[in-house]
Amino acid sequence: MLIVRLLFQTVMMLLVMAVLLFGAAGTMFWPAGWIFITEMGLSSLLISFWLLAKDPALLAERLSPPVSRNQTGWDRLFMLAALVAVCGWFAIMGWDAGRTHRGAVAPPFQAVGAVLIGLCMTVCWLAFRFNTFAAPTVKVQAERGQHVITKGPYRLVRHPMYAGAMLYFVGVPLLLGSWVGLMLSPVLVVGVAARAVAEEAVLRNALSGYGAYAAKVRYRLIPGVW
């Protein structure tokens, strides 16, 4: 059942995050870590249960494996590299915040981090609300009648979920109190930007009308910038 997969994958995601963060920190007494896990768990479940009620087909896509046979070869490599990079990022942030004590992040900045994470999840929800084809892998879903989406956040940027990810890459290290994690965030942003460019090459070739849409909505991730 879809709900069983949803609950299982959510619990596993939170468990992996917790092991990486608290294991690297060397302590379970880390309030910021627990706040992060709680915020991610609640927001993920809220969005997932909304999808279960409103768009179960998209939820099924979102719960599918990150590497699949009908995925482009470069995207399979990207997803594997991204998985390793993000896991490493979490472990480094846990180590930095829990063991090095290089420089504490002030509570107001940690609060900003929590807000940025919340904004990221809100942007993702808006993308799901308007784009039923927002699969985690790069592919054109001809069997589902995929077409170009031009409403909601897609009126502002061509890749709103990637734009939301940039908020996440800044918000997480701020909330967790890791300056090292924040310094590594640009590497993740560059990776997301590179994937956006590569994804657009696929969409221009395989999705009718995407070229015209890209000409109309000029910016990929940041309105007025890029």
In the chain, domain spans: 2-216
* Residue 137 CA neighbour count, 13 Å, CB half: 22
Per 3-state DSSP, what percentage of the chain is helix, strand, and coil (rounded to 5)? 75, 0, 25
pLDDT band at 16 (very low <50, low <70, confident <90, very high): very high
Confidence (pLDDT) at 119: 97
* Rounded Cα distance, 45 and 207, in Å: 31
pLDDT tens-digit readout, 58-68: 999 899 888 77
Which residues 6+ apart lie within 8 Å of 126 measured at CB? 152, 153, 160
Average pLDDT (188-193) is: 95
The overall average pLDDT reported for the chain is 92
pLDDT tens-digit readout, 17-51: 999 999 999 999 999 999 999 999 999 999 999 99
In CATH, what class is 2-216? mainly alpha
